Chain A
Amino acid sequence: MSRSDGGSADGSGSDRVPSIARRVVTPFVDRSVAERLLISVAAILLSIAVGFAIVLVSGRVAQCSTAAWTMPVTGLGFCYDPFEVYLVLFNGALGYPFAIGEPGLFDPSWTPFNLSFGLTLSETTLLIFTGLSVAVAFRAGLFNIGTQGQLVVGALATALTVLAAAPFLPEGPVAGAVLIVVGTLAGAVGGGLWGAIPGALKAYADANEVITTIMLNFVAANVAYVLVLEVFRAEGSSVVATRYVPEYAQFLPWLFPQSSDFALLALLVGVGFIAGLYYLVEHTSFGYDLRTSGMQAAAAEYGGVNAKLTTVRAMTLSGAIGGVGGSLWVLMSEGRWMASVPDLGFDGITVSILAGNNPLGVLPAAFLFGLLKGGALEIGFRTDVPTELVGVLRGLIILFVAMPEFFRMFGRYAGIGSSGPGGSGGSESSAANADDDAAVADGGETDA
């Protein structure tokens, strides 16, 4: 937690550590942030390595006429080339900027405004919202597995609101802007209310939010499905979906191809949300209350934070952000609400955990997952490897990020523990408090 506006200008700091240097260095030496970053990177690398092994093994057992890759030395042939898989995954997700095997490193004809990159950014945009949704709840010490449901409800609210309001406005860009704003608000309200339910249940009935949010995901999916099926289904549609919202009420794909389902403006809105959330969490009294109750509930209570209210507020906010994600899914990607909503909410959990639940970290984490999803399509086009590999990678990343102790143990084993972040944290604090410990050792516990 570094703050850029602290302490450099006043004179008091200058006689100690040079304050400018400290300002630059602090974010990087901040133990928790640096450690999170290291663990996230290590988890990604480990997942890639395990994914590599999976591709190899399955390439060995799968059947094909010619080997795609032959292992050096052993001469074993494999149906899938694991190097190619990752090259296609990451290069393809960007629209092939790198000219593999060509004389130049870069393909000169590449522009960022290509279809593949557009798809990648489209996923990134949606994951920013679901990632932020999970992150906000996490910061308040709440595990919101219900972002998926909040997104479903928000998306439906958006679609229905825009469809209902559209006839009252003359067609055109102004009406479009109004409809987008109104629709997004409706999504926020819908998702917010859906998120408030588990928040209130947690605060006032002590119902575990993990269980209630999982259940509410199913309820949201099923109820929305039935509502659309029975009431709002578009006439003649073969799938369970609402009518399309008017073209002018959808985000326009500036610069990017129409079919990429991506609008730069939406990404900018997402980045704006990141900045806003960051500001809210780090620079407001509400954010302070939220973080403190998530970090150390007893200290928050001591500091006058109303725990119940904070829980409800955090879950409502989390749900509202998830709902806005649903709005964008409707107004940017699909143009309508339809059944089989993608697993954006669950991916949001992975994004948030990968980001260390820090709003600023959500951007790179969402982009990474955008790459995986965009790249998955390319893998399907260009290789024989099943695209479900990306789903496996997703699961592996979340598993590895969940076990920081593994990486700490590994770090200690590899001998970088003493200098590495966090390695010595435990012993430091126990040494500092040795006098207390001894007192406690004799006096029994001090009961609160």
Chain B
Amino acid sequence: MNPAVHMDGITKRFPGVVANDDVDLAVERGSVHALLGENGAGKTTLMNVLYGLYEPTEGTVFLDGEPQSFDSPRDAIDAGVGMIHQHFMLVDPMTVWENVVLGNEPKTWGGLRVDEDAAREAVADLSERYGFDVDPDARIEDVSVGVQQRVEILKALYRGADVLILDEPTAVLTPQEVEDLYGVFEELTDQGKTIIFISHKLSEALSAADEITVLRDGVNVGTVASGDVTREDLAQMMVGREVLMDPATTPQEPGERVLEVTDLRADDDRGVEAVSGISFELRAGEVFGVAGVDGNGQSQLVESITGMRDPTEGSITYLGEPMAGESRREHIDRGMAFIPEDRQERGLVMSYDLTENGILGSQHDPPFAENGRLDWRASRDHAESVIEQYDVRPPNADAEAEDLSGGNQQKFIVGREFERDPELVVAMHPTRGVDIGSTEFLHDRLLELRAEGKAVLLISSKLDEVQGLSDRLAVIHEGEFTGVVDPGTVTEEEIGLLMAGERLDDDSVEGAALHDAATDLAGDSGDEEVDA
């Protein structure tokens, strides 16, 4: 019997990047298959090929042994493939049944009326058949994220999907909702549906999937049955790379306390708590790293510290002054530099040239402004000095930010922020999208700052980076630090598990293997253990 889904030798190239390199994937009917890998490993690209959003550069997709050629998601839907995106495609003010039948409404009265009873019944039937427990008449904006996800699944089922792709389905769910989702998976596969879900969480893949395919750097590292594999094996497969950089940090006695964060809580834009009680302190001459999978509260943590978001609870003390709730301007004026994660939204004004971008944040301060008047000559000199010192190309202060490559944009931001002569640098993904040479250069500059006695808060999803540069390393998961470890002794596997939400004092069966390491780590991190 042919597998429900067979992707054969899929290669997908983007200009300058190979996102998928000769990937094979076979998924049996009625099974749950996890696609595991780190961010950027090519998981979503592969699934977008299956869903008809991308056309593969090479390779073929087979469904039930039939070769397929999808021009658009519409073709994929017709062929029985449904995708549940990470960001739901639902119309918030409409009801569950309205969303489910959208575009395929049953009609009466010669098409003049949506047959609400039929639609409601169809949705209720589907819901009941798979044990979804969804009220067809509830409004989307009134139901929980977990229910919204089920509505998305219902949408796909209503359109006759046999293969369901779920992109990071647990990213937005509470632990209880995750359990419910696994139950839904079971119901679906019992009735012959095939499920592929994308994840970067080991525990999730192990507990929900029958088979697991690990992608790394666009390559299929291997497909394993979840019963035959351990967490360590998976972590090894996922990370699988050597530490590129030796920690160049020379031991250094930390100075006075620069930043102290206590019991910090903050909400995201939707009002859902994203930072759930984080405490740490940061001293002069120290790099404090925060590792973790994107979307675990890093953004909200950083925004709270840099004055771009008001925390809901807790205190932030910077150079002895309480800062929580102070304006962004106040934070800049007190010498806090901030390299934001979103350089094209925040870090730079894309239509400004580099001279203008060079004073973003300093537009009221000498030497760039005096009595409210801008000194463009000084600004230009400043921009040119940043360009020269940080090797920004093209070396032209008149170039607009949008004409620079991502790496050069980043170098310019880093240069601008470092040249502010800050007491504290908050750097979020400082080398994302930056080439190797520039990355090393930026790392050296970070360490120079440390040597000058500045405090650095470094947030990155690149393990080698945070591990190599930090004096102490915290791992964040769902808005909490799962541990604070010594980056010199901790292994990448251990960090990987911390990132997946395992605490070092975890007593579960899977955690037992780590127990020894955990004890060691506890000793190393000593009194820095935070908020366990």
Which residues on A are within 8 Å of B, measured CB to CB?
1, 3, 5-7, 10, 12-13, 16-17, 22, 26, 31-32, 283-289, 292, 295-296, 298-306, 425, 428-429, 431-439, 441-448
A-B contacts, 16 of them at CB < 8 A, read: A5-B377, A12-B384, A16-B395, A17-B396, A32-B351, A285-B364, A292-B349, A302-B308, A425-B402, A435-B16, A436-B433, A438-B40, A441-B45, A446-B342, A447-B268, A447-B295
Instruction: Give A385 to B295 CA distance when docked, in angstroms.
Output: 66
In the bound complex, residues from chain A placing their C-beta under 8 Å from that of B344 are: 433
**Shortest Cβ distance from residue B196 to the other chain A in the assembled complex, whole angstroms:** 15
- Surface stretch bound by A, among B64-72, B111-119, B324-332: B324-332
Cross-chain contact A285 with B363 (CB below 8 angstroms): yes
A443 and B294 in contact, given A5-B377, A448-B269 (Cβ under 8 angstroms): yes
Instruction: Give A439 to B405 CA distance when docked, in angstroms.
Output: 14
In the bound complex, residues from chain A placing their C-beta under 8 Å from that of B403 are: 428-429, 432
Instruction: Give A101 to B268 CA distance when docked, in angstroms.
Output: 73
Cross-chain contact A299 with B295 (CB below 8 angstroms): no
Instruction: Give A328 to B258 CA distance when docked, in angstroms.
Output: 57
Q: B203 at the A/B interface (Cβ < 8 Å)?
A: no
Cross-chain contact A434 with B359 (CB below 8 angstroms): no
**Shortest Cβ distance from residue B354 to the other chain A in the assembled complex, whole angstroms:** 11
Cross-chain contact B395 with A438 (CB below 8 angstroms): no
Q: B374 at the A/B interface (Cβ < 8 Å)?
A: yes
Q: B201 at the A/B interface (Cβ < 8 Å)?
A: no
Among B331, B374, B404, the residue within 8 A (CB) of A285 is: B374
A306 and B299 in contact, given A299-B345, A436-B406 (Cβ under 8 angstroms): no
**Shortest Cβ distance from residue B110 to the other chain A in the assembled complex, whole angstroms:** 39
**Shortest Cβ distance from residue A1 to the other chain B in the assembled complex, whole angstroms:** 7
Extra A-B contacts (18), CB below 8 Å, given A433-B344, A438-B16 = A10-B381, A284-B372, A285-B364, A296-B345, A296-B350, A299-B345, A299-B346, A302-B328, A303-B332, A303-B360, A304-B331, A429-B402, A435-B16, A443-B44, A444-B171, A447-B299, A448-B303, A448-B342
Which residues on B are within 8 Å of A, measured CB to CB?
14-17, 19, 39-45, 48, 86-87, 167-168, 171, 268-269, 294-295, 299, 303, 308, 327-329, 331-333, 338, 340-342, 344-353, 355-356, 359-361, 363-364, 369, 372-374, 376-377, 380-381, 384, 388, 395-398, 400, 402-407, 432-433
Cross-chain contact A303 with B363 (CB below 8 angstroms): yes
**Shortest Cβ distance from residue B530 to the other chain A in the assembled complex, whole angstroms:** 24
Instruction: Give A298 to B299 CA distance when docked, in angstroms.
Output: 14
Cross-chain contact B15 with A434 (CB below 8 angstroms): yes
Pairs A-B, 9 closest by C-beta atoms: A443-B39, A304-B329, A438-B17, A302-B346, A303-B360, A434-B15, A288-B363, A432-B405, A303-B361
Cross-chain contact A439 with B432 (CB below 8 angstroms): yes
Cross-chain contact B87 with A445 (CB below 8 angstroms): yes
In the bound complex, residues from chain A placing their C-beta under 8 Å from that of B295 are: 444, 446-447
A442 and B376 in contact, given A12-B384, A304-B329, A432-B406 (Cβ under 8 angstroms): no
Cross-chain contact B345 with A298 (CB below 8 angstroms): yes
Cross-chain contact A438 with B14 (CB below 8 angstroms): yes
Q: Tell me the nearest residue of chain B to A17, going by C-beta.
A: B396
Instruction: Give A298 to B404 CA distance when docked, in angstroms.
Output: 19
Instruction: Give A16 to B338 CA distance when docked, in angstroms.
Output: 31
Cross-chain contact B346 with A431 (CB below 8 angstroms): no
Cross-chain contact A444 with B377 (CB below 8 angstroms): no
Cross-chain contact B294 with A446 (CB below 8 angstroms): yes
A444 and B406 in contact, given A5-B377, A296-B345 (Cβ under 8 angstroms): no
Q: Tell me the nearest residue of chain B to A4, going by C-beta.
A: B376
In the bound complex, residues from chain A placing their C-beta under 8 Å from that of B43 are: 442
Instruction: Give A33 to B510 CA distance when docked, in angstroms.
Output: 62
Instruction: Give A296 to B349 CA distance when docked, in angstroms.
Output: 6
Q: Tell me the nearest residue of chain A to B397, going by C-beta.
A: A7
Cross-chain contact A431 with B15 (CB below 8 angstroms): yes
Instruction: Give A135 to B56 CA distance when docked, in angstroms.
Output: 48
Cross-chain contact B406 with A435 (CB below 8 angstroms): yes
Cross-chain contact B338 with A433 (CB below 8 angstroms): no
Cross-chain contact A441 with B48 (CB below 8 angstroms): yes
Cross-chain contact A1 with B352 (CB below 8 angstroms): yes
Q: Which of A22, A437, A439, A443 has the most CB of B within 10 A?
A: A443
**Shortest Cβ distance from residue B91 to the other chain A in the assembled complex, whole angstroms:** 19
Instruction: Give A431 to B406 CA distance when docked, in angstroms.
Output: 10
Instruction: Give A303 to B349 CA distance when docked, in angstroms.
Output: 10
Instruction: Give A76 to B344 CA distance when docked, in angstroms.
Output: 59
Q: Which of A5, A17, A441 has the most CB of B within 10 A?
A: A441
Among B19, B331, B384, the residue within 8 A (CB) of A438 is: B19
Q: Tell me the nearest residue of chain A to B362, going by C-beta.
A: A303
In the bound complex, residues from chain B placing their C-beta under 8 Å from that of A445 are: 86-87
Instruction: Give A138 to B149 CA distance when docked, in angstroms.
Output: 41
In the bound complex, residues from chain B placing their C-beta under 8 Å from that of A289 are: 363
In the bound complex, residues from chain B placing their C-beta under 8 Å from that of A6 are: 355, 376-377, 380, 397
